[in-house]
Amino acid sequence: MATKTALAVAAHPDDIEFVMAGTLLLLKEKGYEIHYMNVSSGNCGSTEMDSQQTRIVRAKEGRQAAKILGATFHGSISDDLEIVYSVDLLRKLGSVIREVGPEIVLTHSPQDYMEDHMNTSRLAVTAAFTRGMPNFPANPPRQSVQGDVTVYHALPHGLRDGLRRRVAPGAWVDTATVHETKREALAAHKSQKEWLDKSQGMDSYLVSMDEMSEEVGRQSGKFKHAEGWRRHLHLGFSTKEVDPMKEALGDLYLVNEAYEKGLEE
């Protein structure tokens, strides 16, 4: 039986660790092969190093974080603020998705506080959609692949959209048992402490991640630490509506009944 795979696609080095890494770790515990990709190199994320130095440092940090998570690392295909919804990036990301053949794709919220996150979300959705289209060439070239894939969107940074409205998850994942490993992976991005303190006033990115994780846990009414997810519509991605994360994680996955009810109204 083929190993099931999950691919996390985020914008910048450390984004996966903030809102996706706990779920990745749990999927790994359930037998999934996990993959890790930041679309951007993170080259603008420093006030002390130049662009090329920052690329090198952040790639090294990303590889270390992926190693801590036990994930296969995939290199970046863009730079900060250059993640645009383009055919060029679709072909490159589509090639990675065909190589991995994921059953689950984790990516950003379609509504978030910055364009890099939202454009990464769009790219991940379309790249997954093109996986089985032989007439859409990937770069580098790879054969198209068949099979169902389910796309899950993480909660936005700050748990609100760009217009300050709260974003409710369709489901929560209990990440308490893997929170310390998630934190260790985030700590691998050492270059980001000073940058985030200066640029976004986050007063230690580790504490900020802890607080966001705890807030999502409180929203669930059940978990101490949690990550929230919204499942993309299945049309074009699977033959019927499926929720492989729920199937894999069992009691660690809590459906937001109010969200599901809202979908039916």
pLDDT exceeds 80 at position 104: yes
Rounded to whole angstroms, how far apart are CA atoms 191 and 265? 46
In the chain, the domains with their CATH numbers are: 5-264 (3.40.50.10320)
pLDDT value, residue 202? 52
Pick left, alpha or beta for residue 70 (phi over 0 → left; psi -120 to 50 → alpha; otherwise beta). Answer: left
- Grade residue 88 by pLDDT with cuts at 50, 70 and 90: very high
For residue 245, the Cα-to-chain-centroid distance in whole angstroms is 14
Calculate what percentage of the chain has a pLDDT beyond 90: 88
DSSP track, 102-161:
-SEEEE--SS-SSHHHHHHHHHHHHHHHGGG-TTS--SS------S--EEEEEPPGGGB-
How many CB atoms are located within 10 Å of the residue 60 CB? 14
Distances (CA, A) of 64 to 49, 68, 72, 127: 20, 6, 11, 26
| Closest alpha carbon to 102 in 120, 129, 121 | 129
pLDDT value, residue 1? 45
Mean pLDDT on 1-23: 93
Say if residue 152 is exposed, middle or buried (CB neighbours under 10 Å; 0-12, 13-18, 19+): buried
Q: How many helices (H) and strands (E) does the chain have?
A: 10, 8
Mean pLDDT of the chain: 94
Mean pLDDT on 193-203: 60
pLDDT value, residue 2? 65
Q: What DSSP designation does 232 have?
A: P
Distances (CA, A) of 170 to 107, 188, 242: 15, 30, 14
Rounded to whole angstroms, how far apart are CA atoms 106 and 60? 22
